[in-house]
Amino acid sequence: MSLTLASGAAMDRPAPPARLRRGLQLTAAALLAGLLGLVLWRGWPQGYPLKLAELDIATVQAGTFHDELVSRASAVPLNSIVIDTLEDGRVDAVLVKDGAMLARGQLMFRLSSSQRAQELMARTAEVAQQLANLSSLRAQWAASRATQRRELSLLDFEEARADKAHRRNLELGQTGFLSVAALEESADRLAQQQRLLEQARADGEDELGTREQSVREMERAVAGMNQRLQAQREAADAMAVRAPADGRLTGFALQVGETVRPGTRIGRIDSAGRFKLNTRVDEFYLDRIAPGLAASIDHGGRRHALTVTRIDPQVKDGRFSLELTFDDASAAPTGLQAGQTLDTRITLGQPGPALLLADGAFYADSGGAWVFALARDSHSAERRAVKLGRRAAGFIEVLGGLQPGERVIVSSYLPYLTAQQLRLQP
């Protein structure tokens, strides 16, 4: 039996190229790394990291929404009168001190001015001279009228005599005892007397009219000079400055010997014991507050009613100003001092049931359109769109997007304004 040796050719296989082998290894490694990354991503904590203790958290709860605004207001005097100097001069005497209680008309200080005194004396002399001139014109006018009355009386008498003589001559002429020539001469004499009388009356009226006009013009001139003199006297009186009203003097620091100019602010008189309140409110309430709204403060164990009387709509630093006055000025809080601050409640509407969230800095950052709501385990918080309504008394009315019992971050969102999720650490 002969033995046949196997050649082994059927067992040989071509080996894959080295490049293909390396590509398969890289693909397998990439798949393994991607799988590992997915596992790590799912297991790794997500979101912007924050410490829970550094956040302000509020719980959404059902309650009664009191539609009122609480604002810190400061007390200011109800009425203040600013005192400015009307004249320039040197301070001769100061009779009051800063902080003193003044009565209306009380002398505060005196000024002096040599120029003002000289002007007053010159004006007084000028008025006296013009008054003398006016008296002279009036005397001349009166004398002229008297002279004219005498002259007219004589002319009237002569005219009457001529008329009587002419009438007698007419009777004699009719009987033939008087010639025609004599009658004509009598008529001419009467006509001349009548002309003289009429001319004297016309000339007298013209002369008296001229004199009267001169007197009237002088009277007007003297009246104007008297007014200017009175103004200068009042200016001189203003050198002695008196309190324009009852009250407390503040900001007063004049010194004897000091020189002041017109318009110099020298102080203020504040009404004593009568106050109003000023406060600044977030511009969010600009459309909701109007004059006439009721308000109140608690002071000394009593509640005092106020009314919004004035609004300054100019917004500065996101706030605008309000002025409130006490409904009963006589029942204003006793012991209140200018500058003292009080919590004021302004009633914006009637109270009613609502879902409430504590107000906070988040509202300004998100505009009330979204919040960060905490998960049940308090380990994370997600950004969520909400619908918020009115803000008052430290609370915000929740209209949608949140449920009772949910907790919300109400502190500022500025550090993580663009984040969608927060990772909260103990």
Question: Does 4 fall in a domain?
Answer: no
b/e map of 356-377 (b: 16 or more CB within 10 Å)? bbbbbebbebbebebbbbbeee
E strand segments, 231-339: 240-242, 247-250, 259-260, 265-270, 275-282, 294-299, 302-316, 319-326
CATH number, domain at 328?
2.40.30.170
Same domain, 329 and 247: no
Q: What local confidence, expressed as pLDDT, does residue 34 receive?
A: 62
**Which of these, 93, 107, 87, lies nearest to 254 by C-alpha position?**
93
Domain containing residue 415: 48-65+352-425
Question: Does 5 fall in a domain?
Answer: no
Question: Does 140 fall in a domain?
Answer: yes
Same domain, 169 and 253: no
Handedness of CA 81, 82, 87, 92 (dihedral sign): positive
- Between CA 305 and CA 330 the distance in angstroms is 12
DSSP state of 52: G
Question: Does 3 fall in a domain?
Answer: no
- Between CA 243 and CA 106 the distance in angstroms is 5
**pTM of the prediction?**
0.49
**Which of these, 392, 339, 337, 338, lies nearest to 363 by C-alpha position?**
392
Same domain, 246 and 385: no
b/e map of 239-254 (b: 16 or more CB within 10 Å)? bebebeeebbbeebeb
- On whether the CB atoms of residues 280 and 73 are closer than 8 A, the answer is no
Q: What local confidence, expressed as pLDDT, does residue 320 receive?
A: 92
Q: Write the pLDDT tens digit of every residue in 85-111.
A: 877 778 888 888 888 888 888 888 887
H or E, element range at 48: strand 48-51
Same domain, 259 and 304: no
Q: What local confidence, expressed as pLDDT, does residue 330 receive?
A: 65
Same domain, 107 and 119: no
Q: Based on the structure, what is the number of domains in the chain?
A: 4
Contacts of 358 (CB under 8 A, 6+ apart): 58, 394, 395, 396, 410
Same domain, 102 and 147: no
- Dihedral, 123, 124, 129, 130 alpha carbons, nearest 10: 70
Question: Does 7 fall in a domain?
Answer: no
Same domain, 243 and 230: no
Question: Does 29 fall in a domain?
Answer: no
- Between CA 414 and CA 170 the distance in angstroms is 129
- Tens-level pLDDT at each residue, the chain (426 residues): 344 444 544 455 555 566 666 666 667 666 776 665 544 444 444 568 888 888 899 999 999 888 888 888 988 888 888 888 877 778 888 888 888 888 888 888 887 766 666 666 767 777 777 777 778 778 877 887 888 888 888 888 888 888 888 888 787 777 777 777 877 888 888 888 888 888 888 877 877 778 778 788 877 877 777 777 676 666 666 577 888 888 888 888 888 888 888 888 888 888 877 888 899 988 888 888 889 988 888 887 788 888 999 999 899 988 999 999 888 766 667 777 888 888 888 888 888 899 999 999 999 889 889 999 999 888 889 999 999 988 877 889 999 999 999 999 999 999 888 889 999 887
CATH number, domain at 263?
2.40.50.100
CATH number, domain at 407?
2.40.420.20
- Between CA 148 and CA 34 the distance in angstroms is 136
Same domain, 277 and 391: no
